[in-house]
Amino acid sequence: MRYDIASYIYEPINTLLEVPTGIRKARRELIRRARGKVIELGVGTGLNLPFYPEGVEVVGIDISEKMLEKARKKRSKAKVSLMKADARKLPFPDNSFDTAVSTFFLCVIPEKEVVVREIRRVLKSGGVLLAMECSPPDNLLFRAFLNGLSAITSRITGTNFRTDIGKLLVENGFSIARERKLANGAVRVLTALSQKEEEGYPGEEPAELQR
């Protein structure tokens, strides 16, 4: 399985790309905003686990056992449990989680709509999705370049810059409360609410689109 193979190179490549671009700092800031009972989709090698605040309970899922083996070695202030599961059919009842986390997961997987609906199903009413995903960049030349690159990377690693994840979330029952662009919009950090009524979020500013 390609994810098992990727487990050996995932962290070195991410460190190489994320540190100089500021993505690693944004990742840390995003994860620190998780509250309550959290589900992390595609937990991978556990890059996010050291950033969770004390007091939250994290359930991390991944389809790759090799990824999970590496994630189990990570330390975290949070209470963490890891399990092998398919995000297209989450093994949890409706309304199980306060927060969902997806970092470079939705932009990689197939059947995105199915997964987004599953995330919304397991989130409580007013629950929050914290996401950091690849996105079509603002610059048209850069967008054309990444579109061409995505034709290759989507087949090898699944990485795809052609899908507007914010739009996908809105089309499947979320509302965007906060959006931040990184790398000229090629990466977007999103706070999405699982219902149309924007009720806000503990510790956050009033739910309004921020750029």
Please compute the mean of the pLDDT values over residues 113-132 and round it to a whole number.
95
**Amino acid identity of 129?**
L
Q: How far apart are CA 52 and CA 135, in angstroms?
A: 24
Q: Encoding tokens for residue 179?
A: 């959006």
CB count in 10 Å sphere of residue 192? 27
Please compute the mean of the pLDDT values over residues 9-18 and round it to a whole number.
59
Q: What is the pLDDT at residue 164?
A: 87
Residue 17: pLDDT above 80? no
Looking at the chain, how many residues does it have?
Answer: 211
Residue 7: pLDDT above 60? no
Question: SS3 of 103, please?
Answer: strand
Q: What is the pLDDT at residue 134?
A: 83
The residues spanned by each domain of the chain are 2-193
Please compute the mean of the pLDDT values over residues 84-107 and round it to a whole number.
96
Nearest Cα neighbor of 73 from 50, 53, 54 is 50
Residue 39: pLDDT above 90? yes
Architecture of domain 2-193: 3-Layer(aba) Sandwich (3.40)
Question: Which of 9-13, 52-56, 159-163, 189-193 is the least confident region?
Answer: 9-13
Q: Encoding tokens for residue 38?
A: 């959290």
Q: How far apart are CA 19 and CA 12, in angstroms?
A: 11
Q: What is the pLDDT at residue 21?
A: 73
51 close to 79: Cβ distance less than 8 angstroms: no
Judge if pTM exceeds 0.85.
no
As a whole number, the mean pLDDT across the chain is 81
* Distances in whole angstroms, Cα of residue 12 to Cα of each of 7, 106, 161, 209: 10, 21, 21, 33
Handedness of CA 118, 124, 130, 135 (dihedral sign): positive
Q: How far apart are CA 98 and CA 198, in angstroms?
A: 15
* Paired strand residues for 132: 103, 189
Highest mean pLDDT among 132-136, 141-145, 169-173: 169-173
Instruction: Please tell me which residue, 203 or 173, carries the higher pLDDT value.
Output: 173
Q: What is the pLDDT at residue 139?
A: 61
Q: How far apart are CA 60 and CA 134, in angstroms?
A: 21
Instruction: Please tell me which residue, 146 or 180, carries the higher pLDDT value.
Output: 180
208 close to 179: Cβ distance less than 8 angstroms: no
Give the DSSP per-residue string, 124-186.
EEEEEEEEEEE---SSHHHHHHHHHHHHHHHHHT---SS--HHHHHHHTT-EEEEEEEEGGGT
Question: Which of 47-51, 100-104, 156-160 is the least confident region?
Answer: 156-160
188 close to 133: Cβ distance less than 8 angstroms: yes
